[in-house]
Every structure is written in C-alpha cells, then in structure tokens.
C-alpha cells in the first residue's frame, strides 16, 4: 500500500527535525553588539554549537529540544577581551622573592587559577604579555583541551628586552645571583633581537612583547628611560611580522614609544608619558594604545602602604598613576585607537572590569569604553572575523550584566552570565 505523498513529506520533515542538533536561544532584553553605537531591545540570539547562527528582533519561541536562556532583564554583549594580562602572578610583597622558590609547574597552576577568575569576570579572551618559563603556553593548551577553565589565551611567553632592561629578570639583583641566570629573552643588537623573536616563535608564542623603556615595578631602572635602540626595535618588528606575529611594546617614556612606533609596532602598552608628538605619530601609523589604567591606579594606592612595594618602586608608582590618566584623556580626545588592557597581575585578577570605570571617569563615553574591549580589542588581536561582535558566524562568546551599563558603567563589574564558544560557564 502506498502512503499519501503528504504523509511522506510530513514524516520526512519530522525525521529531519529529530536529527537536527538542538539550538540555544538567548532572549536578550538589551543587546550591545560591539559594532553599533545604539542598543537593540528585545532580541533573540541563536547559538548552534560554538557559533552564533542568527540574531532576530523579538523573542523567538524555542523548538522542541532547544535550550532557552532568559536574559530579558539584562544587557547582553560580546565576550570581553583584555589585551594585557599576566595570568601566572599577582603583585604582592612576596613578588620580588617568590622566583627563588617557585618551580615552573607552580606558575602554570597558578595561571590556571587566575584564568578561571578572569573568565568568570566576563573576559573570554586575553592577551598574556609576559610570563615565567612559558607558563601560559601550557595554560593555553590546557584550556583548549578542556583540562582547565579559562579564556582564550594568546601568549607572548616571556617578554623580550635588552640587558639590564625592564625585561631583564635579574635587573637590580646581586652579582652572584646574576651570574647564575641565562635568559634567552635578553638580547643586544639587531641580530640578537631577531634571534630572540625567532626563539619565541619556535617556542609557540602568539605575539611578541618587548620593553623599549624602563618600568615601574622593576628595581633598577627609570620608567622613562629608553632601553632599546631604534635598530633593535626595527629588527624585532621586522622579524615578528615576517612570522605573522604582532608586536606589543611596553613603554612609559616618549623616546621608547617613538622608536617603537616608527619601527612599525602594533601597540603601545601603558604610554604613560606620551607627548603630543607621540600622539600624532600613533594616529599617523595607526598604532593602538593599551592604557592599563588599572595598573596605574593600583600601584599608586599601594605605594602609600608601607612595605607593599620597595621604596624605589613606590616612588615611581606615585608619579605614574596620575600621569596615565592625563595621557589617556589626551589620547582619547585626539582620536588615537584604543584597545582595552589592564595589566592584571599587577592589580588582582578578576577585577579587570574596573578598567571601564577608570576610562569613563577619565572622560570616555561608556559605549566607546565597551568597544575597546570588544571590537577594537579583536582588531588589535587580528581575530575580528571570529570575535569582538555579536554577529552571525562568529564564535558564541557572550556575557551579560543586569541593567544598563551605559547608564551605570559600574555594572560591568557584575557580570552574571558568561558563555564562551557556546558553552555556559556562569549563569
């Protein structure tokens, strides 16, 4: 007996529906998509596997087997991205001595602990700009394999710099200690710079981090002094770009920034004592600025706590904190490209979102601040085809906060929902 054609079609449709993978529907009361300057209201985001497959106005009813996540009372936005973290450590009075008793495995396990805190704070992607013994390379692998919970990690491995620079871990130590250390990330001359980059490529770095000036937390240098020649900076950038890697540059003083920008570096980190000439150069070359106001504010406050920082470091910290904010205001008003970065590992991990408060208090519009951690961060990282906005085809990295963060930026510190690659980690 032949079945009616209509019944055959209906049966085939039901069979196909049964085989179709279940989807996740997110009902968002408000959506900041990372690209538009306006907020969409009452939106359904459809997630299939690890990707966003659709965005529709209104609240779409789920089909049988679909998962519904009700965020009607929240603002949904792309997973946040922090372009400057150090996951394997956190500043404390013990920071300057712990290297004598911690092993490589200790750093990696500590990085896993801080990685989870970072993800649950809403940061689904980070750029780790400096670690110990490539600890975050192991972390990157562990997260990708599902062994530990954390954000997507793009790591620089140990930062690269010249002898006696902010990158030199023995800077300021005794001669006896210095003699016992040999660090491949320390170089001198253009040929040494190229060799250091290639060594990092061999060890699996995703990005190259260099130090062209002194730093605040190192014992034996000035934060403003240049610590890399123009030829050395150019050699680093050329070698990195040949291998398809971007270059992030730690720089507080203007001369170190200038040399890095003219060499073609992709971002300036901190930028504390940026001059008008440097601002103009950054605009001309399209160089990103990663302000790290969180670090500046943290060390400025801790400099007032006796014993937390060594005296030479505390003196630098008291100068750098206010200068960072003033520089940020000038750079933002001038139209320099800004990407979100905190330097967490100086300030506590998990408090990354305080950077939004510092930026808005310094005059940045709330929507612009959120975009620094979504669209702009993805552009700096070179992953804007997959991340940074809520659009069909991109990874389902989504976070939500209760209420309206454009009216109260402090809400960014209260992320109540986290999805990374379609998997929910906080709800």
Residue 109, pLDDT score:
97
Residue 5 pLDDT = 47
- Examine the pLDDT at 387 and tell me if it is beyond 70: yes
Strands 24-31 and 40-48: antiparallel
Q: What is the pLDDT of residues 33-60, one digit of tens each?
A: 999 999 999 999 999 999 999 999 999 9
Report the Cα 277 to chain-centroid distance in Å: 27
Hey, is 287 helix, strand or coil? coil
- Between CA 28 and CA 16 the distance in angstroms is 29
Show the domain range for 412: 5-78+389-426
Residues of the chain with pLDDT > 90: what percent?
80
Q: CA dist 76 to 27, 52, 106, 400, Å?
A: 9, 13, 36, 4
In a 13 Å sphere around the CA of 364, the CA atoms on its Cβ side amount to 31
Specify the 3-state DSSP secondary structure of 302: helix
Instruction: Choose one of 344, 361, 381: the last residue of a domain.
Output: 381
pLDDT mean over 201-220: 91
Regarding whether 207 and 172 lie in a shared domain, the answer is yes
Looking at the whole model, is its pTM more than 0.85?
yes
Does one domain contain both 98 and 20?
Answer: no
The total domain count for the chain is: 2
CB 379 within 8 A of CB 115: no
Tell whether 99 and 51 lie within a shared domain: no
Find the mean pLDDT for residues 325-341. Answer: 97
Residue (of 288, 300, 350, 352) closest to 325 by Cα position = 300
Say what the pLDDT of residue 289 is: 98
CATH of residue 412's domain is 2.30.40.10
Report the CATH number that the domain containing residue 268 is assigned in CATH: 3.20.20.140
Q: How many residues does the chain have?
A: 427
Tokens at 16, concatenated: 């196909």
Dihedrals phi, psi of 153, to nearest 5 degrees = -115, 125
Task: Kindly state the tokens that stand for 356.
Answer: 């939004």
398 and 286 share one domain:
no
């Amino acid at each position: 007996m032949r079945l009616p054609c209509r019944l055959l079609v209906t049966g085939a449709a039901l069979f196909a529906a049964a085989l179709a993978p279940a989807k996740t529907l997110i009902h968002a009361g408000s959506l900041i998509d990372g690209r538009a300057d306006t907020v969409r209201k009452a939106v359904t985001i459809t997630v299939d596997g690890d990707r966003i497959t659709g965005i529709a106005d209104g609240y779409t009813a789920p089909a049988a087997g679909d998962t519904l996540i009700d965020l009607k009372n929240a603002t949904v936005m792309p997973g946040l991205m922090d372009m400057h973290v150090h996951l394997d450590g956190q500043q404390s009075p013990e920071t300057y001595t712990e290297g004598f008793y911690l092993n490589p495995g200790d750093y990696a396990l500590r990085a896993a602990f801080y990685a989870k805190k970072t993800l649950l704070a809403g940061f689904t992607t980070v750029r780790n700009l400096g670690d110990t013994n490539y600890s975050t390379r192991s972390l990157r692998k562990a997260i990708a394999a599902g062994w530990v919970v954390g954000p997507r990690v793009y790591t620089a491995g140990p930062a690269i710099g010249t002898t006696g620079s902010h990158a030199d871990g023995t800077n300021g130590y005794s001669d006896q200690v210095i003699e016992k250390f040999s660090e491949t990330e320390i170089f001198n001359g253009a040929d040494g710079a190229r060799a250091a980059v290639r060594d990092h490529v061999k060890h699996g770095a995703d990005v190259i981090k260099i130090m062209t000036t002194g730093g605040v937390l190192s014992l034996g240098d000035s934060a403003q002094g240049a610590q890399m020649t123009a030829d050395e900076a150019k050699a680093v950038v050329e070698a990195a770009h040949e291998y398809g890697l971007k270059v992030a540059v730690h720089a507080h003083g203007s001369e170190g920034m200038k040399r890095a920008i003219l060499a073609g570096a992709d971002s300036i980190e901190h930028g504390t004592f940026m001059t008008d000439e440097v601002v103009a150069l950054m605009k001309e070359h399209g160089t990103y600025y990663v302000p790290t106001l969180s670090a500046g504010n943290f060390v400025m406050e801790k400099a007032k706590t006796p014993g937390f920082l060594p005296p030479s470091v505390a003196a630098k910290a008291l100068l750098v904190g206010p200068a960072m904010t003033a520089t940020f205001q000038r750079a933002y008003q001038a139209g320099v490209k800004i990407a979100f970065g905190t330097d967490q590992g100086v300030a506590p991990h998990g408090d990354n979102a305080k950077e939004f408060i510092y930026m808005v208090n310094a005059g940045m519009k709330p929507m612009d601040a959120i975009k620094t951690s979504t669209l702009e961060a993805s552009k700096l990282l070179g992953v804007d085809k997959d991340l940074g906005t809520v659009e069909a085809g991109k990874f389902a990295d989504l976070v939500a906060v209760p209420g309206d963060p454009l009216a109260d930026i402090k809400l960014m510190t209260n992320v109540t929902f986290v999805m990374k690659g379609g998997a929910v980690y906080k709800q």
